[in-house]
Amino acid sequence: MPVNLSIKNVPDDIVRGLHNRAARNSRTLQQELLAILRQAAEGQDEVGLDTLLANAQRKKPTLDERTSKVLAAQDVEKEKTAKKFADLLGTPDAKED
């Protein structure tokens, strides 16, 4: 049974590209999109429960790991900003790298 699909907020450049591709292939936009979807779905095996379980059990970074990476990146940015201010103000204790 056919299903209607809708994609929202497609950037203008992508829409223009799809229109150009459709025109190049002598198709309507609808026909071109359907051809693209057919090609993408071609040869896809059905996903079984084993695959879903295996994907769910793969190690994913914990919130703590992600948080520490974000905090470390923020600390680096703060140090860079502090050094820039110190350099601009000519503070004698500015670190030399």
Which single residue is written with the structure tokens 């502090």? 82
Cα gap 55→70, rounded to integer Å = 25
Residue 66 is predicted with a pLDDT of: 78
Cα gap 32→18, rounded to integer Å = 8
**Domain segments of the chain as ranges:** 1-43, 63-97
What predicted TM-score, i.e. pTM, was given to this entire model?
Answer: 0.51
* Residues 28-79 pLDDT 10s: 999 999 999 999 999 998 999 998 888 888 777 677 777 888 888 999 999 9
List the one residue out of 52, 50, 18, 49 whose CA is nearest residue 35. Answer: 18
Spatial neighbors of 6 by CB under 8 A, at least 6 apart, are none
